[in-house]
Amino acid sequence: MSEWLRRLSGTVDQVVEPLLVTGSETEPLFGLVARMREAGETAALITDAEGRVAGLLLAEDLVQHALFALAPDQPAAALGRRVSPLRPQDRIYKAIAEMRRQRRRCLPVVDETGRAIGFVRTAGVLGFLAGEILTRLDAAIVGETAPASPEVKSAQAAVATTLLASRESAAETIALINVLNDDIARSVLREARETMAADGWGEPPVDFAVLVMGSAGRGESLLHPDQDNGFILADHPDAEHDGIDRYFAELAERFTRGLARAGFPLCAGNVMATNPLWRKTLQQWRMQVTEWMNARGNEAIMFTDIFYDFRGVAGPPEIADALRRHVTGAARNNLPFLAQMSWLQREHASSVDVFGQLIAKDGPEKDAIDLKLRTTKPLIEIVRLLALKNGVAATGTAARLAGLVEARVLEPEDAGMLSGDLAFLLELLLRHQLARIAESRVPDNYIKPQSLDRQAAERLVQACRRIHHWRQRLVADHSPVFG
């Protein structure tokens, strides 16, 4: 059971807050309102002559009714809504359900005699349920008062550590990291546009979409991704290209520099919108994709390997969707292109020897396994190839596997094993990177077999063998195309 679920089964007495404002049924309404205002409180409990709960008055009740319909000397009972109170030993999940059913964001808690002892509020319950994660998230969320910065990006490690300690899955944790990254990218883009407008560049001359590619496009980035991004510009006359592209070249510079300042290193391979190769109109992108598919060189395959996982994170979604439809249609059953992609798999050797031992030859000391290069990358490539061949448009690996099952390309058992392997491998990588961050070291992908317990080592051997099996299968399935 996760920490979140464990807390959901806790009791109301763990989240009860003291009563700040109470009033009798006969007290003039505006007198009670005045005391609420003085206390800075948005809720007041109304009691009967015996001190038992008679109703609850919330600030929204005043806005909806009292200011327009009731005289100042009306009794508080005229507006206070009757509610069903909670008891200290009720479960937290019951408190949530009752607040939803009664459409109140707080409810009174009463003792065995029916006298109120405090309030339970939605905000307090959420804080209790989420525990430390809310504090961690505060530092990792970009906003108007917390602009994109290295501190915001680095706070993701604390968020991930807290979630894993609460027994949340690595897959859900990684998904949250990627959502936070999307928010940072949009914040940086917004700032770049605003500074350009202030500098006299005006607004974008045409609509455009911002793409993220590679692991970011799949929603599978871990804690130290570099930049893989591009722009799709709405189609426009060729005669206007130079002026329009001048704006977007400047925007790309500011955008990528802003991301670098926020903790996303510039891409060493120059896969960024500052490179004209990754900044094109929709029609130019379509032509580029077709050219890559018709090429037979390794460079074209490398570009497609990065590009095909693209996803739009800003701009009109229909622009990125149009390019996705083109890519999906162009790749489907394009056997020469798919064969070229699969043929590259033959160059990868297994990471397990004939005796079932992990082969560790990576890293500075040549005693580790580059888990990204040897395992997650080929697994992702295998699933991507099957998705492209069969017209599955999803970008995330788990979503692609689900699409392949739905299309009856994969048996649910095979897809489940591959999905399980990916989840296991990503968790290994995430925990390894968190450990390095805790030691003030740069995150990397090098796992030393001796650092794994027996169960994890055996699980890694199984995953490596399964990946090697699928590599061989794909090569065998597509090799006749070369004959």
What's the CA gap between 378 and 468, in Å, rounded?
Answer: 9
Tell whether 329 is covered by a domain: no
Supply the pLDDT for residue 419.
Answer: 96
**433 compared with 353, residue with greater pLDDT:** 433
pLDDT, tens digit, 9 for 90 and up, residues 134-176:
888 888 988 877 788 999 999 999 999 999 988 889 999 999 9
Tokens of residue 281, six digits? 């109109």
Q: Within this chain, do residues 474 and 349 fall inside the same structural domain, yes or no?
A: yes
What's the CA gap between 264 and 276, in Å, rounded?
Answer: 20
DSSP string, 240-259: GHHHHHHHHHHHHHHHHHHH
Question: Is residue 482 scored above 50 in pLDDT?
Answer: no
Instruction: Return the CATH number at 265.
Output: 3.30.460.10
Which of 67-81, 123-137, 236-250, 417-431 is the least confident region? 67-81
DSSP H or E segment with residue 118:
strand 116-121
Tokens of residue 39, six digits? 């206390």
| Burial label, 53 (beta-carbon count in 10 A; 0-12, 13-18, 19+) | buried
Q: Within this chain, do residues 274 and 174 fall inside the same structural domain, yes or no?
A: yes
Tell whether 316 is covered by a domain: yes
What's the CA gap between 389 and 226, in Å, rounded?
Answer: 28
What's the CA gap between 136 and 132, in Å, rounded?
Answer: 6
User: Mean pLDDT across the chain, nearest whole number?
Assistant: 90
Instruction: Return the CATH number at 105.
Output: 3.10.580.10
Cα distances (angstroms) measured from residue 44 to each of 25, 287, 435: 11, 66, 48
| In contact, 219 and 267? CB cutoff 8 Å | no
What's the CA gap between 474 and 349, in Å, rounded?
Answer: 14
Question: Is residue 446 scored above 60 in pLDDT?
Answer: yes
pLDDT bin (cut points 50, 70, 90) of residue 72 is low
Supply the pLDDT for residue 353.
Answer: 82
SS3 call for 209 = strand
Tokens of residue 46, six digits? 């109304």
The CA R_g of the chain, rounded to the nearest whole Å, is 29
Tell whether 108 is covered by a domain: yes
pLDDT, tens digit, 9 for 90 and up, residues 2-40:
677 778 889 999 999 998 899 998 988 888 888 988 888
Q: How many CB atoms lie within 10 A of CB 9?
A: 10
Fill in the DSSP letter of residue 143.
B
Supply the pLDDT for residue 347.
Answer: 64
Question: Is residue 345 scored above 90 in pLDDT?
Answer: no
Q: Within this chain, do residues 294 and 410 fall inside the same structural domain, yes or no?
A: no
Which of 22-31, 114-123, 350-359, 449-458 is the least confident region? 350-359
| In contact, 250 and 201? CB cutoff 8 Å | yes
Tell whether 137 is covered by a domain: no
SS3 call for 139 = helix
Q: Within this chain, do residues 474 and 355 fall inside the same structural domain, yes or no?
A: yes
Fill in the DSSP letter of residue 47.
E
pLDDT, tens digit, 9 for 90 and up, residues 379-390:
999 999 999 999
With tokens 């439809």, the residue in question is: 325
Tokens of residue 424, six digits? 């296991």
Mean pLDDT of the 366-371 span: 94
Question: Is residue 66 scored above 60 in pLDDT?
Answer: no
What's the CA gap between 444 and 323, in Å, rounded?
Answer: 33
Mean pLDDT of the 423-444 span: 96
Question: Is residue 306 scored above 50 in pLDDT?
Answer: yes
Instruction: Return the CATH number at 443.
Output: 1.20.120
What's the CA gap between 129 and 120, in Å, rounded?
Answer: 13
Tokens of residue 278, six digits? 């990754």
Supply the pLDDT for residue 107.
Answer: 94
Mean pLDDT of the 395-423 span: 96
| Burial label, 382 (beta-carbon count in 10 A; 0-12, 13-18, 19+) | buried
The end-to-end CA distance of the chain, in Å, is 55
Which residues have C-beta within 8 Å of that of residue 348, sequence separation ≥ 6?
A: 374, 378, 471
What's the CA gap between 393 and 397, in Å, rounded?
Answer: 11
DSSP H or E segment with residue 232:
strand 229-233
Final residue of a structural domain among 304, 324, 344: 324
Domain count, the chain: 3
Final residue of a structural domain among 129, 163, 187: 129
What's the CA gap between 255 and 359, in Å, rounded?
Answer: 41
Tell whether 136 is covered by a domain: no
Q: Within this chain, do residues 420 and 343 fall inside the same structural domain, yes or no?
A: yes
Q: Within this chain, do residues 168 and 291 fall inside the same structural domain, yes or no?
A: yes
Final residue of a structural domain among 280, 298, 324: 324
Which amino acid would we find at residue 241?
H
pTM of the model: 0.83
Question: Is residue 281 scored above 90 in pLDDT?
Answer: yes
Q: Within this chain, do residues 92 and 222 fall inside the same structural domain, yes or no?
A: no
Tell whether 175 is covered by a domain: yes
| In contact, 422 and 376? CB cutoff 8 Å | yes
Fill in the DSSP letter of residue 86.
B
Q: Within this chain, do residues 154 and 63 fall inside the same structural domain, yes or no?
A: no
Question: Is residue 483 scored above 50 in pLDDT?
Answer: no
Tell whether 280 is covered by a domain: yes
List the one residue out of 84, 100, 163 whose CA is nearest residue 131. 163
Which residues have C-beta within 8 Å of that of residue 326, sequence separation ≥ 6?
A: 285, 286, 289
Residue 393: phi and psi, rounded to 5, are -85, -10
Q: Within this chain, do residues 207 and 306 fall inside the same structural domain, yes or no?
A: yes
Tell whether 330 is covered by a domain: no
Buried/exposed code over 191-227 (b: 16+ C-beta within 10 A; e: otherwise)? bbbeebeeeebeebbeebbbbbbbbbbbbbbbbbbbb
Q: Within this chain, do residues 60 and 209 fall inside the same structural domain, yes or no?
A: no
What's the CA gap between 109 and 89, in Å, rounded?
Answer: 10
Q: Within this chain, do residues 315 and 343 fall inside the same structural domain, yes or no?
A: no
Domain range for 114 is 3-129
| In contact, 13 and 123? CB cutoff 8 Å | no
What's the CA gap between 352 and 60, in Å, rounded?
Answer: 65
Q: Is the dihedral of CA 327, 331, 337, 338 positive or negative?
A: positive
pLDDT bin (cut points 50, 70, 90) of residue 71 is low
List the one residue out of 451, 468, 461 whose CA is nearest residue 365. 451
Mean pLDDT of the 346-355 span: 75
Tokens of residue 11, six digits? 């009791």
Q: Within this chain, do residues 280 and 152 fall inside the same structural domain, yes or no?
A: yes
% pLDDT > 70, the chain: 95
